[in-house]
Amino acid sequence: KPGEQKHPKEPSSLQCMHLAVVACGDRLEETLIMLKSAVLFSNRRLCFHIFAEDSLKPEFEKKLKEWPSSYTKKFESNIYPITFSVGNAQEWKKLFKPCAAQRLFLPVILKDVDSLLYVDTDVLFLRPIDDIWHMLREFNSTQLAAMAPEHEIPKIGWYSRFARHPYYGTTGVNSGVMLMNLTRIRSTQFKSSMIPGGLTWEEMLYPLYQKYKNYITWGDQDLLNIIFYFNPECLYVFPCQWNYRPDHCMYGSNCRGAEEEGVSILHGNRGVYHDDKQPTFKALYEVIRDFPFEDNLFQSLYYPLQSKFLDTVHTLCGRIPQVFLKQIEKTMKKVYENRVIVYLGANHRY
């Protein structure tokens, strides 16, 4: 439209759903498969914010351009270098995994973005991003971010057994899927153990890291747990099916939400897409990776998935295939219904 800006000022959530990811090292393919799962099922337009090492930038640009136009028109992508606005960049870079701390700086870097969904590279969407995006409306007046618990059962949760620093709630939270109202984060004064008054998000990050760096194991996730321990009213906790990890089934099924509704977002942490420890997770990753974009979803995605799952029934996660299949089946049916309605509607005009 004449005079329309390509990157409108906020509220940009009205124009597009913002999705951020940080990719370093060998995470190119994994990131592209995550983005593919997002585009396959989403209804509204997506804006990708990809933070990547310089060597990966041309690869991302090349691969995303190779996708068919029926999908590339559903998103726009921006690729950014890895940057840290406060403290020592080398220190931040080495925290936990290469570049992982970048996510802590998203509110500072993406100044024109109102709300954002951050995900790790090893995440797969099994339903439209629209559904988690709607949770922003459920935030009360003090909530500015949403995460899922790190574990459902305190006695086998990592934080409740081993953490040497403050953490949120009884089991801590996992930062692999994080929904953020960046406008609120930028304008909030956060409580901490460092000074009696409040600090802005950016002011707080480096002193917090300096104070706790000898006690943290999971890097930036631990820092987020410390922040929300001191500011619990700022966090909205969403159910485990929105960040479903091997921990939810490898010791027996302990995510009730996934049993009832199916997995909404799969998080294959600890490299399970690439080894044989959790074949159910690997099967989902490979089927989405190998799906030819414009093929029939049931024939080329759902049926291969069902048959691959038959080979995993001997594993604890494989014993509950319906947990993995329920939401993706529902989503595919909706995609088809929408296409049929659009197709019939188009034919009725002539």
pLDDT at 11 over 70: no
**pLDDT for position 216:** 82
Q: Which residues contact 348 (CB under 8 A, 6 or more apart)?
A: none
Residue 96: its pLDDT value, please? Answer: 56
- Band of residue 342 on the pLDDT scale cut at 50, 70, 90: low
Mean pLDDT of 114-128: 97
Using an 8 Å Cβ cutoff, are 49 and 18 in contact? yes
pTM (predicted TM-score): 0.91
Please tell me whether residue 252 adopts helix, strand or coil conformation: strand
Indicate whether 157 pLDDT > 90.
no
Q: Tokens standing for 262?
A: 């199916």
User: What element of type H or E holds 328?
Assistant: helix 321-348
**What does the alpha-carbon distance between residue 159 and residue 219 come to, in Å, rounded to a whole number?**
13
Give the burial class of 137: count Cβ atoms within 10 A of its Cβ; 0-12 exposed, 13-18 middle, 19 or more buried: exposed
Inter-CA distances, 208 with 203, 228, 345, Å: 9, 12, 56
**Residue 100 banded pLDDT, cuts 50, 70, 90:** confident
Give residue 160's pLDDT: 73
pLDDT in the model for residue 303:
94
Q: How confident is the model at residue 9 (pLDDT cuts 50, 70, 90)?
A: very low
Residue 56 has pLDDT above 60, yes or no: yes
**Is 266 strand, coil or helix?**
strand
pLDDT higher than 50, residue 10:
no
If you average pLDDT over residues 172-192, what whole number do you get? 96
pLDDT tops 80 at residue 52: yes
Count the neighbouring beta carbons within 10 Å of the beta carbon of residue 154. Answer: 14
Checking if the pLDDT of 97 tops 70, the result is: no
Q: Report the percentage of the chain scoring pLDDT > 70.
A: 92
Residue 271 Rama label (left phi>0; alpha psi -120 to 50; beta): left
Residue 12 predicted with pLDDT over 50: no
Top pLDDT among 80 and 90 is at 80
More confident residue, 337 or 239: 239
| pLDDT tier at 242, thresholds 50, 70, 90 | very high
**Mean pLDDT for all residues in the chain:** 89
Q: How far apart are the first and last CA of the chain?
A: 27
Q: What is the pLDDT of residue 93?
A: 77
Reported confidence tier of residue 218, pLDDT bands at 50, 70, 90:
confident
pLDDT at 141 over 60: yes
Rounded Cα distance, 145 and 232, in Å:
10
Residue 344: the pLDDT is 63
Nearest to 170 by CA among 251, 237, 103: 237
Q: Yes or no: say if 240 and 257 are a contact pair by the CB < 8 Å rule.
A: yes
Whether the pLDDT of residue 339 is over 60: the answer is yes
Q: Tokens in use for 284?
A: 């989902």
Only one residue has tokens 């295939």, namely: 321
Between CA 314 and CA 319 the distance in angstroms is 7
Contacting residues for 135 by C-beta, under 8 A, at least 6 apart: 146, 179, 236, 238
Which pLDDT value is given to residue 13? 44
User: What is residue 194's predicted lDDT score, i.e. its pLDDT?
Assistant: 81
Q: What is the pLDDT of residue 309?
A: 94
Give me the mean pLDDT over the 181-192 stretch: 96
Pairing of the two strands 46-52 and 17-23: parallel
Mean pLDDT of 179-197: 92
The answer to whether residue 243 scores a pLDDT higher than 90 is yes
Q: How many residues does the chain have?
A: 350
* pLDDT over threshold 50, residue 350: no
